[in-house]
Amino acid sequence: MNRRLWIGLVIVFVMALMASEGWPQTKPGDKKEPPMTTERLLMRDKLTYAKDALDGLSVGDYTKIAKSAEMMRMISKASSWYVFDSDEYQRHSKNFQEQAADLERHAKEKNLDAAALDYMRISLTCVQCHKYVRAERSKKP
């Protein structure tokens, strides 16, 4: 499959995530945002680096992709203990870290097709983990 097709698929996938509940859109009259906690700050930073990685994929900037992947992996390691102490959460964190390492490696190898697939895998892991966290938090009073 050619490079443009992969990049197009990644862009469509991310736009679909943004339109879904993955990244909620704020509307006038919506309730206030929760206060900024360490967890929210770290997640915001991970999202910023994910957007940077997508930008790098779009223009073929391998240095930007690799740096973004490295930062996402480091943030995930620093925050992996913070949300839940469960086997499933640990599995999601480990998957994310391994996929970010793969993205960084493929960027350094200048393999754009593999890096685009890694980015899609990371995105799916994010969606699955956030779905899990929402479900677990809804169980608590």
Q: What distance in Å separates the CA atoms of residue 94 and residue 5, rounded to the nearest whole number?
A: 29
pLDDT at 10: 61
pLDDT at 23: 47
- The CATH number that domain 3-10+37-139 falls under is 1.20.120.10
Helix (H, G, I), strand (E, B) or coil at 48: helix
Domain extents in the chain: 3-10+37-139
Q: What are phi and psi of 140, to 5 degrees?
A: -85, 145
In DSSP notation, 54-114 reads HHHHHHT-HHHHHHHHHHHHHHHHHHTTTS--SHHHHHHHHHHHHHHHHHHHHHHTT-HHH
pLDDT at 104: 98
Question: Tens-of-pLDDT digits for all 141 residues of the chain?
Answer: 576 666 666 665 665 555 555 445 555 555 666 677 777 888 899 999 999 999 999 999 999 999 999 999 999 888 655 677 889 998 999 999 999 999 999 999 999 999 999 999 999 999 999 999 899 889 876
pLDDT at 16: 56
Torsion sign (Cα): 58, 70, 37, 121? positive
Whole-model pTM: value is 0.74
Helix (H, G, I), strand (E, B) or coil at 25: coil
Q: What distance in Å separates the CA atoms of residue 123 and residue 127, rounded to the nearest whole number?
A: 6
